[in-house]
Amino acid sequence: MGVDVWLDKDTPVAVNETVVEERNSEKNIPKQSISIDSIATTLPAELDSLAKQVAACQQCSLHESRTQTVFGVGNPNADWLVIGEAPGADEDKQGEPFVGRAGKLLNSMLLAMGLPREQVFIANILKCRPPNNRDPEPEEVVACESYLRQQIELIKPKIILAVGRIAAQNLLKLDTPIGKMRGNQYQYPESELPVVVTYHPAYLLRSPREKRKVWEDLKLAMRIYQEAL
């Protein structure tokens, strides 16, 4: 896809499974087990029911301008839950989070961890697109909060990767700058579920030199995940 991810050497390498396996072996980072056959192609009944609730939601004014809701996508039994900010224009049209250029970069980030996109579950803080891609309003976050909590309870992930400042701050109820949140392990409120924070792929498209920092965040997340097994 033409997207590079900075690993441990001084030069960028295009992401592919061979490179990832070699790097993981060098650093003694266990490759995540991949079983495509075990990935459900449809949502279980409880998640499907929740998705229908989200699709009919009118708890805030965003329902007036959305094309469709963006519930989330991926493996409903995923160990990894990736949480972003809110749908953009492409997501609003397609009904799926993280599509377009930022989505391709997120896919590369996941592959660098040995995870195909289909093996994780991807969701957002908001289920509807804010007009003109503005930041979410506090009341909009509150309106969607119960949906996200229910998703977490039903999916039962072993770790959350929060991508971007808005996702991280709203998820963790903090106002700490994302640069200071990086490199730390947090817990999802009222739980023992670990959360790791990193930069949003859209930010990396504007600031590619920060990719090395993201790779450090992903390695931290992989270590925490392995310790939780």
Distance CA 107, CA 126 (A): 20
- If phi > 0 it is left, if psi is from -120 to 50 it is alpha, else beta; for residue 14 that is beta
Range of the domain at 95: 43-228
Chain CA centroid to CA 70, Å: 13
Place of tokens 């056959």: 37
Neighbouring C-beta atoms of residue 33, cutoff 10 Å:
9
Question: How far, CA to CA in Å, does 64 sit from each of 44, 57, 92, 102, 131?
Answer: 28, 10, 13, 26, 10
The CATH number for 164's domain is 3.40.470.10
First vs last C-alpha separation in the chain: 32
Q: Is there a domain that residue 63 lies in?
A: yes
In a domain, 72, yes or no: yes
Mean pLDDT of the chain: 86
Residue 121, beta-bridge partner list: 74, 81
60-70 pLDDT, tens digit each? 999 999 999 99
Can you tell me the distance from the alpha carbon of 46 to that of 147, in angstroms, rounded to the nearest whole number?
A: 12
Asked if residue 24 belongs to a domain, the reply is no
Number of domains in the chain: 1
pLDDT at 123 over 50: yes
Is residue 110 one of the residues assigned to a domain? yes
* Residue 10 domain flag: no
Residue 28 falls within a domain, yes or no? no
Residue 162 forms part of a structural domain: yes
Query: Is the pLDDT score of 36 beyond 60?
Result: no
CA atoms of 178 and 212, how far apart (whole Å): 15
Whether the Cβ atoms of residue 190 and residue 176 lie closer than 8 Å to each other:
no
Q: Do the domain assignments include residue 38?
A: no
* Residue 18 or 41, more confident: 41
pLDDT at residue 39 in the model: 36
Considering the entire predicted model, what is its pTM? 0.83
Q: Please write the tens of the pLDDT for every residue from 85-107.
A: 999 999 999 999 999 899 999 99
